[in-house]
Amino acid sequence: MGRILFGLFVFCLVGTAVFMWVKIGFSLERAPTPSEVPADVVGSQPSQSTTQIPLTNTSSASFRVPILMYHYIRDYADRTDDPLGVQLSVAPDILSSQLDALVAEGYHTISLSELAEGKYGEKSVILTFDDGYTDAYKKALPILLDHKMTATFFVVGDFVGRKGYMTRDQITKLREAGMEIGGHTMSHVNLANQTRENAYTQISNSLVDTEYVFSYPSGQYKAETVDLVFGLGVRAAVTTNFGVATEQSSLFELPRIRVKNFTDVMQRINEEIAIADGALDPSQRSKD
Positions that interact with Zn ion (CB under 5 A): 130-131, 217
For residue 88, the minimal CB distance to Zn ion (Å) is: 9
Question: What DSSP assignment string belongs to 100-136?
Answer: HHHHHTT-EE--HHHHHTT---TTEEEEEEEE-BHHI
For residue 215, the minimal CB distance to Zn ion (Å) is: 7
Nearer to Zn ion, 153 or 230 (CB): 153
Which residue is closest to Zn ion by CB? Answer: 130
Nearer to Zn ion, 183 or 217 (CB): 217
The DSSP output letter for 138 is I
Nearer to Zn ion, 217 or 231 (CB): 217
C-alpha–C-alpha distance, residues 184 and 206, integer Å: 6
Residue 89, classed as helix, strand or coil, is strand
For residue 224, the minimal CB distance to Zn ion (Å) is: 20
40-48: Cβ within 8 A, 24+ apart: 41/227, 41/230, 41/231, 42/227, 42/228, 42/230, 42/231, 43/196, 43/224, 43/227, 43/228, 43/231, 44/227, 45/223, 45/227, 46/196, 46/222, 46/223, 46/224, 46/227, 47/223, 48/223
For residue 154, the minimal CB distance to Zn ion (Å) is: 7
For residue 218, the minimal CB distance to Zn ion (Å) is: 6
Nearer to Zn ion, 66 or 217 (CB): 217
Nearer to Zn ion, 131 or 227 (CB): 131
Angle between helices 223-231 and 196-206 (to 10 degrees): 40
Residue 199, classed as helix, strand or coil, is helix
Least Cα distance to 272 among 248, 242, 240 occurs for 242
C-alpha–C-alpha distance, residues 87 and 262, integer Å: 10
Nearer to Zn ion, 64 or 184 (CB): 184
Q: How many CB atoms lie within 10 A of CB 271?
A: 20
For residue 131, the minimal CB distance to Zn ion (Å) is: 4
For residue 58, the minimal CB distance to Zn ion (Å) is: 32
- Residue 236 main-chain phi, psi, to 5 deg: -160, 145
Nearer to Zn ion, 73 or 275 (CB): 73
Quote the Cα angle for 40-46-47, to 5°: 135
Strands 245-246, 64-65: pairing is: antiparallel
For residue 263, the minimal CB distance to Zn ion (Å) is: 18
Nearer to Zn ion, 119 or 162 (CB): 162
